[in-house]
Amino acid sequence: MTNTESAATPADRPIVVVLTSDDLGPPPDLAALSELATIRIATADELPTALPGARAVFVWDFFNPALADAWPAADALEWVHVAAAGVDAVMFDELRDSAVQVTNARGVFDTPIAEFVLTSVLAHLKDLPQLARAQQEQRWEHRETRTAAGRRALVVGTGGIGRATARLLRAVGMEVRGVGRVGRESDPDFGVVLPSDELAEHVGWADHLVLVAPLTAQTRGLVDARVLAAMRPEAQLINVGRGELVDEPALVAALQRGELAAAALDVFVTEPLPADSPLWTLPGVQISAHLSGDAVGWRQALAEQFEANLRRWLAGEPFESVVDKRRGYASSGR
Amino acid sequence: MTNTESAATPADRPIVVVLTSDDLGPPPDLAALSELATIRIATADELPTALPGARAVFVWDFFNPALADAWPAADALEWVHVAAAGVDAVMFDELRDSAVQVTNARGVFDTPIAEFVLTSVLAHLKDLPQLARAQQEQRWEHRETRTAAGRRALVVGTGGIGRATARLLRAVGMEVRGVGRVGRESDPDFGVVLPSDELAEHVGWADHLVLVAPLTAQTRGLVDARVLAAMRPEAQLINVGRGELVDEPALVAALQRGELAAAALDVFVTEPLPADSPLWTLPGVQISAHLSGDAVGWRQALAEQFEANLRRWLAGEPFESVVDKRRGYASSGR
């Protein structure tokens, strides 16, 4: 544990614990944070020692679930900020039932993830993997491509990332519908939003099924064998949300049976994806290492976002990107 | 030669020669054309025999230059339609100097080529080739991606395809400028259009240099060693126009020296790209087989476009997509 406390610390200067790992290290611009608060850098092991007296925790190592176990030591906690869009790894019942406010990294990942989804759509339609194979074998192979304009995408998740994705897919001429907790008409970004519990009835409409939803009790296992069986045989699944949104063994079976044509998967039930997963080598599957939102400069942006919220807190202003702890995600304000 | 002439052919029923090859065969919906005109299907060898009396030639085998050699037999020719956007392979001095009108496949390729350019931009920024390598080696490799929004593209060619490309790149948040025969301000699709003879002075502005220009005396070799040397080291060249727009040996040398980072090449000086071309294996180079515009249904669309122009001609209406034979391309109407 590294402690920037000093004898001169005024009483109103809050103690903030930054949860990190040895590999990850502290966030950039630590000096700026230390101007504002007493910063205690702690790994998971050090967390129980660091928490007493701390009024805030910055979960910089954003999938680190250590706060749950260290919870009894959190005797002064008011605020937890998670440097991720999805807070599922960090949430637990005591935190949910407490008065502690939770904020997340809303906004930072919107454009990069939307672009990654569009990239995955286009790479599939233009069959870049086959072009690459032909090039590798130095074969001049003419192929027809498919056009994105006019194709249909169902975007599951109507938060900031889902909205940015819907807008980008629409910008290139695709037809988009949303899938959310509750259905509604006339959404500004989606037009129609369908209720997620009717996904199996509606998924046959889509050429591309895009998962950007948070992982909650309602979304866990949402794309199950029934949904997969209802997909169009030429359709593509794109998952940039959480691995657990999909029944992974059912997906493998559906791909093997040709119930859908392709999948671009950036997230998995177990990460790193185990070496023995059949997904690595299934035809039509694009694998990436949970990186869709991580554009150059993302760590800096995450640190700056926390610092901005810290300044708001110290000034007595309301936080930005507050997580609805019961629902498990930050409202997009719509 | 296949001839649909019959004894009942009325005098005002024009003879139309369809230039094809044994591999390619006749266009679809030949029956519909035969309702309108006397159709003579001819390969290059058969062309001199087919041309006498023909008032139109439909260059269905769109890179076939046979009309130049068979020109003396064209005793009644009024109209040549080329089933391609670029007419460079088909143009020759006698045709240029004659009263024969030339039309082309304007419009058919706009959206597919614009999408292929966007795909190439995104595949480069998200480093899909590296993701594919990691997947192939079953390596879980986190990488940062680059964001397209805010990046700069210089689009060389201000015809219909260039405009569709500019609009699509702008739709995803990129900054775009055009390069044309003459420079101008306040173009509706490009904003600024820079004159192509100043390309070397302006190319350093661009993250992506996109070539969609027709091949003319002015554009041949436009991207030469001087232009390549002025590119940003992290920039990407995308050529979906004609191979001869680029000094290919200079491009190989520039890529080897790191004067630019990447190239997506769909067209080449010699097609198919020869087996001994270093482009096949240069790092950062994406090769495709002159297919960027060939979306599913393109052959049908090309045949329908000719039929529509044939109906206009028979009705005494002006042609659509008339090629300016002196300039070598169809005006985009701006």
- Counting one residue from chain A and one from chain B, the pairs whose CB atoms sit within 8 A come to 139
pLDDT value at residue B331 = 74
Confirm whether A182 is domain-assigned.
yes
Spell out, as residue ranges, where chain A has pLDDT lower than 70: 1-11, 332-334
Give the closest residue to A38 by CA, choosing from A59, A21, A22, A53.
Answer: A53
For residue B125, what is the DSSP state?
Answer: H
Chain A residues in contact with B273 (beta carbon < 8 A): 140
Residue B233 sits in the same domain as residue B212: yes
- CB pair distance less than 8 Å for B296 and A172: no
Chain B residues in contact with A134 (beta carbon < 8 A): 287, 289
Confirm whether A206 is domain-assigned.
yes
Query: Facing residues of A223 across strands?
Result: A246
Strands B323-324 and B329-330, by their bridges, are: antiparallel
Query: Facing residues of B249 across strands?
Result: none
Residues 6 or more apart whose CB falls under 8 angstroms from that of B296 comprise A144, A145, A146, A147
Task: State the smallest CA–CA distance between residue B265 and chain A in angstroms.
Answer: 11
Q: Are B237 and B223 in contact (CB under 8 A)?
A: yes
Residue A133 sits in the same domain as residue A264: yes
Is residue B236 within a helix (H) or strand (E), and if so which, with residue range?
strand B236-239
Chain B residues in contact with A289 (beta carbon < 8 A): 134, 140-143
The answer to whether B111 contacts chain A (CB < 8 Å) is yes
Chain B residues in contact with A292 (beta carbon < 8 A): 145
Q: Which domain holds residue B324?
A: 15-107+296-330
Residue A143 sits in the same domain as residue A249: yes
Give dist(CA A245, CA A268) in Å, integer: 9
Neighbours of A165 (CB within 10 A): 28
Is B290 one of the annotated active-site residues of the chain? yes
Residue A69 sits in the same domain as residue A30: yes
Neighbours of A333 (CB within 10 A): 9
Task: State the smallest CA–CA distance between residue B56 and chain A in angstroms.
Answer: 29
**What separation in angstroms does the CA of A270 have from each of A218, A244, A266, A284?**
20, 9, 12, 20
- CB pair distance less than 8 Å for A146 and B295: yes
- CB pair distance less than 8 Å for B289 and A143: yes
Is residue B264 within a helix (H) or strand (E), and if so which, with residue range?
strand B262-265
- CB pair distance less than 8 Å for B280 and A148: no
Chain B residues in contact with A144 (beta carbon < 8 A): 291, 294-296, 298
CATH of the domain at A258: 3.40.50.720
Annotated catalytic residue, options A163, A242, A248, A259: A242
Chain A residues in contact with B114 (beta carbon < 8 A): none
pLDDT value at residue A1 = 59
Q: Could you tell me which chain B residue has the CA closest to the CA of A267?
A: B140
Residue B134 sits in the same domain as residue B41: no
The answer to whether A92 contacts chain B (CB < 8 Å) is no
CB < 8 Å from A in window 152-211 of B: 168, 171-173
Confirm whether B318 is domain-assigned.
yes
**What's the farthest any 2 CA atoms get from each other in chain A?**
73
Q: Could you tell me which chain B residue has the CA closest to the CA of A123?
A: B119
- CB pair distance less than 8 Å for B141 and A289: yes
Q: Could you tell me which chain A residue has the CA closest to the CA of B276?
A: A138
Confirm whether B208 is domain-assigned.
yes
Confirm whether A271 is domain-assigned.
yes
Vertex B332 angle, CA B326 and B334, to 5°:
105
The letter for the amino acid at B279 is L
For residue A246, what is the DSSP state?
Answer: B
Task: State the smallest CA–CA distance between residue B39 and chain A in angstroms.
Answer: 28
Confirm whether B10 is domain-assigned.
no
Residue A279: HSE in the Cβ half-sphere, 13 Å Cα cutoff: 30
Give dist(CA A102, CA A44) in Å, integer: 19
- CB pair distance less than 8 Å for B145 and A272: no
Residue B93 sits in the same domain as residue B122: no
Chain B residues in contact with A173 (beta carbon < 8 A): 111
pLDDT value at residue B1 = 59
The answer to whether B63 contacts chain A (CB < 8 Å) is no
CB nearest to A172's CB, from B171, B273, B292: B171
Is A142 one of the annotated active-site residues of the chain? no
Task: Flag whether the ipTM exceeds 0.85.
Answer: yes
Residue A66 sits in the same domain as residue A172: no
* Size of chain B in residues: 334
Confirm whether B179 is domain-assigned.
yes
CB nearest to B143's CB, from A126, A135, A291: A291
Residues 6 or more apart whose CB falls under 8 angstroms from that of B231 comprise B203, B204, B206, B209, B237, B254, B259, B260
Residue B232 sits in the same domain as residue B131: yes
pLDDT value at residue B333 = 47
Residue B102 sits in the same domain as residue B147: no
pLDDT value at residue A12 = 76
Chain B residues in contact with A296 (beta carbon < 8 A): 144-147
Confirm whether A175 is domain-assigned.
yes
pLDDT value at residue A323 = 97
CB < 8 Å from A in window 13-52 of B: none
CB < 8 Å from B in window 261-290 of A: 271-273, 275, 280-281, 286-290
Is A312 one of the annotated active-site residues of the chain? no
- CB pair distance less than 8 Å for B143 and A280: no
As for how many domains chain A has, the answer is: 2
The answer to whether A142 contacts chain B (CB < 8 Å) is yes
Residue B235 sits in the same domain as residue B125: yes
Q: Please report, in tens digits, the pLDDT of each residue of chain B (334 residues total).
A: 565 554 444 557 999 999 999 999 999 989 999 999 999 999 999 999 999 999 999 999 999 999 999 999 999 999 999 999 999 999 999 999 999 999 999 999 999 999 999 999 999 999 999 999 999 999 999 999 999 999 999 999 999 999 999 999 999 999 999 999 999 999 999 999 999 999 999 999 999 999 999 999 999 999 999 999 999 999 999 999 999 999 999 999 999 999 999 999 999 999 999 999 999 999 999 999 999 999 999 999 999 999 999 999 999 999 999 999 999 998 764 4
Residue B235 sits in the same domain as residue B307: no
- CB pair distance less than 8 Å for B272 and A140: yes
Residue A325 sits in the same domain as residue A227: no
Strands A323-324 and A285-287, by their bridges, are: unpaired
